[in-house]
Amino acid sequence: MERVIFSEDHHAFRASAKEYCDRSLVPRMEQFLEEKTIDRAAWIEAGKQGFLGLDVPEEYGGSSVGDYRFNAVFAEEVSKVSASLSSCFGIHYDCCAPYFVDLGTEEQKQRWLPKFCAGEYVAAIGMTEPSGGSDLAALKTTAQRADGGWVLNGSKTFITNGDMADLVIVAARTDPSKGAKGITLFVVEDGMEGFARGRKLDKVGQTESGTSELFFEDLFVPDGNVLGELDRGFVHMMERLAQERVGAGVSNIAHATQILAETIDYVKQRTAFGRPVGSFQYNKFVIAELVTKVEVTQAYVDNAVVAHDEDRLSAVDAAKVKWWSAQVQNEVLDACVQLHGGYGYMNEYRVARAWRDARVTKIWAGSNEIMKELIGRDLGL
């Protein structure tokens, strides 16, 4: 079905985004996979094209388009190349940018955002800890008051862009007696004494994503690096999770749609028993179901994108988008592997990599089980 949420400006922007992907990402995928990271040159080129500052005001180097549909378009085009690359760029321009723009002081914006938009600074967000994933209120990283700043101790894990991030938004407990109301956000900068990165984590999928552990040992962070209000870090995170989750939905369904299209082409060409495998009634019915499910989900996600752009997407609706899109994505890709037969299990085929890459989407940005819990609570259950 025709998508109706985009204008001519969005279509022109999509063409630019696709050109960037075709020129700067696709030819270097094997390099990214081998090095388990996106090199800085790809970030710099994205910055030059204006893709990293969509939510950043012009005076700080961004374009301040004021239209979330542009964020969605860029996420879709990168997701068609790789779900892993989309997560790396998305954490930077879609998740971290609102923290800096909404919560940063004038001095902080001047100091960080121009290089952030240019790709010279790569950003990450440090929420998840080894002792707990989706339970952000239970974090154990601490920040104790010191002369002129704070001393951080603790660790984070599963941090996307953690291997190369120049700026890490870190959630730490500043008042243990207040529970969730005693958490503050800090910006940890590359090179600070006491800040160390662990190994690049050996993941099942998303190989080209530089996911790492981060360690803070008696790390002094000056007052000038406190982001937002003291002890309101949990609230700041909750206020911005809706964008992270609708962004995940955009990437999830775009990724599934692309691989499904490639699978349809494959089953038209692959033959068995003298016929294209796609012509067998069972496979034909499976594909018909997949296409319909993807289009229905796309319409739901598009509706959420517009709602978020108009500032009327609730946290609960964002949770619905996140869990459902991840569920559909994984169902579609599992079926695509099956339709490829033995070749679907070979890493040289995109469908195999896509299948592995997608599995984590039911876990991160709040597990699907947590999303259902939020929805259930909203229903009074």
Q: State the average pLDDT over residues 40-45.
A: 97
For 284-305, the pLDDT digits (tens) are 999 999 999 999 999 999 999 9
268 and 342 share one domain = yes
Same domain? For 250 and 362 the reply is yes
Q: Which long-range contacts (CB under 8 A, 24 or more apart) does 189-195 make?
A: 189/225, 190/165, 190/166, 192/219, 192/220, 192/221, 193/219, 193/220, 194/152, 194/218, 194/219, 194/220, 195/219
Residues taking part in catalysis? 244
Residue 3 resides in a domain: no
Q: Is residue 194 assigned to a domain? A: yes
Q: Are 160 and 124 in contact (CB under 8 A)?
A: yes
Least confident of 46-50, 198-202, 265-269: 198-202
**137-170 confidence digits (pLDDT tens):** 779 999 999 999 999 999 999 999 999 999 999 9
CATH number at residue 135: 2.40.110.10
Together in a domain, 238 and 374: yes
**pLDDT score, position 50:** 97
* 372 and 238 in a common domain: yes
CATH of the domain at 357: 1.20.140.10
Asked if 174 and 112 sit in the same domain, the reply is: no
DSSP symbols for 194-248: TEEEEEEP--SS-TTS--EEEEEEEEEEEGGGEESSTTBHHHHHHHHHHHHHHHH
Mean pLDDT of 180-199: 96
Q: CA–CA separation, 88 vs 360, rounded Å?
A: 14
Q: Which pLDDT value is given to residue 134?
A: 65
Same domain, 249 and 356: yes
* Total domains present in the chain: 3
What confidence score (pLDDT) does residue 112 get?
A: 98
pTM beyond 0.85: the answer is yes
Single residue among 78, 104, 121 that ends a domain in this structure: 121
* Short-list 229, 230, 95, CA closest to 167: 95
Would residue 187 count as lying in a domain? Answer: yes
**Within a domain: 363:** yes
Last residue of a domain, one of 86, 121, 156: 121
> Where residue 69 sits, what CATH number does that domain have?
1.10.540.10
Write out pLDDT tens, residues 73-123. 999 999 999 999 999 999 999 999 999 999 999 999 999 999 999 999 999
pLDDT over 70 (residue 133): no
Average pLDDT, the chain: 96
- Indicate the angle between helix axes 233-269 and 350-358, nearest 10 degrees: 150
| Over residues 211-226, mean pLDDT | 98
Query: Tokens standing for 173?
Result: 């407990």
DSSP 8-class letter at 129: B
Residue 2 lies in a domain: no
203 and 215 part of one domain? yes
266 and 161, same domain (yes or no): no
Asked whether residue 240 falls in the same domain as residue 352, the answer is: yes
Torsion sign across C-alpha atoms 129, 130, 136, 137: negative
If you count DSSP H runs as helices and E runs as strands, how many of each does the chain have, helices first? Answer: 12, 10
Same-domain check for residues 129 and 219 = yes
Nearest to 169 by CA among 114, 133, 124: 124
Task: Kindly state the average pLDDT of the residues 357-364.
Answer: 96
**DSSP character for 379?**
T
Report if residue 322 sits inside a domain. yes
Percent of the chain whose pLDDT exceeds 70: 99
Sign of CA dihedral 247, 138, 193, 32: negative
User: Do 194 and 250 reside in the same domain of the chain?
Assistant: no
Q: Which of 230, 265, 288 is the last residue in one of the domains?
A: 230
Asked if residue 52 lies in contact with residue 119, where contact means CB atoms within 8 angstroms, the answer is yes
Q: CA-CA distance, 134 to 226, in Å (whole number)? A: 23
Quick check: is 1 in a domain? Answer: no
Residue ranges making up the domain that contains 98:
8-121
Q: Please, how many CA atoms are within 13 Å of residue 219, restricted to the half-sphere of its CB?
A: 27
If asked whether residues 324 and 242 sit together in one domain, one would say yes
